[in-house]
Homo-oligomer: A and B are copies of this chain.
């Protein structure tokens, strides 16, 4: 799990730009670290969000400092689903 004081955004069914905005807002209020979490098909979207923030919007000021993949059990009966956790950190 994430350390204290970090801000976690769960990537779901909204549009990519929706989550990009959420990340920017987190940095805007002074957070140095934003964590993106996603499961299943939303994993690709989480990577898109991270890359758009990094390349287009906060180029040079934000880096991906960690990218972890894992498996979770969800639903009934339980079903294994892949997860990703991407850590974005402000560097300047």
Interface residues of A, Cβ cutoff 8 Å to B:
40-44, 47-48, 50-51, 55, 64, 67-71, 80, 82-84, 86
Contacts and interface: CB of A to CB of B under 8 A. Distances in A.
A39 B53 CA distance: 18
Nearest to A71: B51
Report how many copies the assembly holds.
Answer: 2
Given A55-B80, A80-B55, A50 B67 contact: no
Contact of A69 (B40, B42, B64): B64
A80 B40 CA distance: 22
A68 B43 CA distance: 13
Given A40-B44, A44-B82, A47-B84, A67 B70 contact: no
